[in-house]
Amino acid sequence: MSCSDKTSPTRVSINDLSLALSNIGNAYHRGASPSVMSELKQKYQSEGIESLYAAPLVPKSHPKSTPPATVQRILGLCLEHPGWGCIRISEHLKKYNIKISSPTVQNILIKYHLGTKTERLNALETNHAADFSVLSDEQLHLLEAANPCLRERNDESVRPGEVLAQDTLFLKSLKHLGKLYLHIVIDTFSSYAFGLIHPSKVPDCAVALLHNDVLPFFRGRQLPVAAVITNKNREYYGGPRHHYQLYLALNEIDHRVIQSDLHRTNGFIERFENIAVAEFFNPLCQAPPLQSVEQLQEEFERWLHHYNAERPHDRYRNLGAIPLQRIGSSNIQTSSL
């Protein structure tokens, strides 16, 4: 046989060889299954090195390719430890010889609407309300921090207006108008709120909010106020001649005082304060300064209308209901944790 009769193999450049072998190496690095590697080998043997110039289609690690048992393990962990992120979950699973990347964990959580801490806490609270499962100290701490109303779940009101909570918030972010306080009353059944901004925190200001706004609102709906919860601050608590306590007695309203050793306010008050600061007072600081307390009160009342009549309140206790809707509903279903 002469040299001319021999079939000369196609010469391949070094760069092309490097590309093909790099693609195979990457397939190994990305965890290609033995079956994929076998297919690549057969492709090479039948079609040559040129068939490997394109990167092989190796399934990436994502929710669709993760074993169902692993997915369920991840979903369980994220609710068992709602404060854990995807990296910590990934590292934890490695202890049990389950190797899964943190981006894959994140993709799974996003797919099941559990990608953020808030979503995980919402799901945990919803699940617990449905099956009354026992919460760990870690879960309870995170839930109460995210939703202070949960602290009051063991002493629920059964109708609108039955039990109110009242407190005073110092508005330290509005110093250009002088020292100001926000007097707050919250209905613990519906989260319906009332507020009065005033330079003073004397008992008469607290009484004025009750007398001018709160009691007329509930009496107009034939909903008598049975009790008001406050702390022991001087605007609410004192001797037998204390104006606030006298006013409650005149209206036959029970005064429930939070014990001072608890070092906290009512959970409904705390949640309202957090919302009001985040959604009204902080944005107000970025706007042109208001010129008077009266103007500030007008702006606050506009926002308060939105809060009470338009803004859905997620989680306990409204579970997505708007406060005014919850008051007006004739078939209100209570839900406790």
* pLDDT by position in tens, the chain (length 337): 444 444 556 677 777 777 777 777 776 656 566 776 777 777 777 777 777 666 555 555 444 578 889 999 999 999 999 999 999 999 999 999 999 999 999 999 999 999 999 999 989 988 887 777 788 999 999 998 888 988 888 888 999 999 999 999 998 767 778 889 999 999 999 999 999 999 999 999 999 999 999 999 999 999 999 999 999 999 999 888 999 999 999 999 999 998 765 556 899 999 999 999 999 998 988 888 888 899 999 999 999 999 999 999 988 889 889 999 999 873 444 444 4
Long-range CB pairs of 292-295 (<8 Å, 24+ gap) are 292/177, 293/177, 293/180, 293/197, 293/198, 293/199
Q: Are 309 and 322 in contact (CB under 8 A)?
A: yes
Residue 47: CB atoms within 10 A of its CB come to: 10
Q: Are 73 and 94 in contact (CB under 8 A)?
A: no
pTM: 0.72
Distance CA 328, CA 337 (A): 23
Q: Is the peptide bond before 302 cis (omega within 30 degrees of 0)?
A: no
Three-class SS state of 14: helix
User: Using CA of residue 99, residue 102, residue 107, residue 109, what is the dihedral sign?
Assistant: positive
**CB burial of residue 269 (10 Å; 0-12, 13-18, 19+):** buried
pLDDT recorded at residue 334: 41
pLDDT recorded at residue 174: 75
The closest alpha carbon to 168, from 120, 243, 232, belongs to 232
Helix, strand, coil percentages in the chain from 3-state DSSP, rounded to 5: 50, 10, 40
Distance CA 337, CA 1 (A): 91
Pairing mode of beta strands 181-187, 193-198: antiparallel
Residue 230: beta bridge partners?
A: 257
* DSSP label of 149: G
Strand order from edge to edge, sheet including 181-187:
193-198, 181-187, 163-170, 227-230, 254-257
Distance CA 218, CA 186 (A): 12
Residue 169: beta bridge partners?
A: 182
Instruction: State in Å, rounded, how far the first CA of the chain is from the last one.
Output: 91
Residue type, 216: P
For 82-104, b/e burial (b = at least 16 CB within 10 A) is bebebeebbebbeeeeeebeeeb
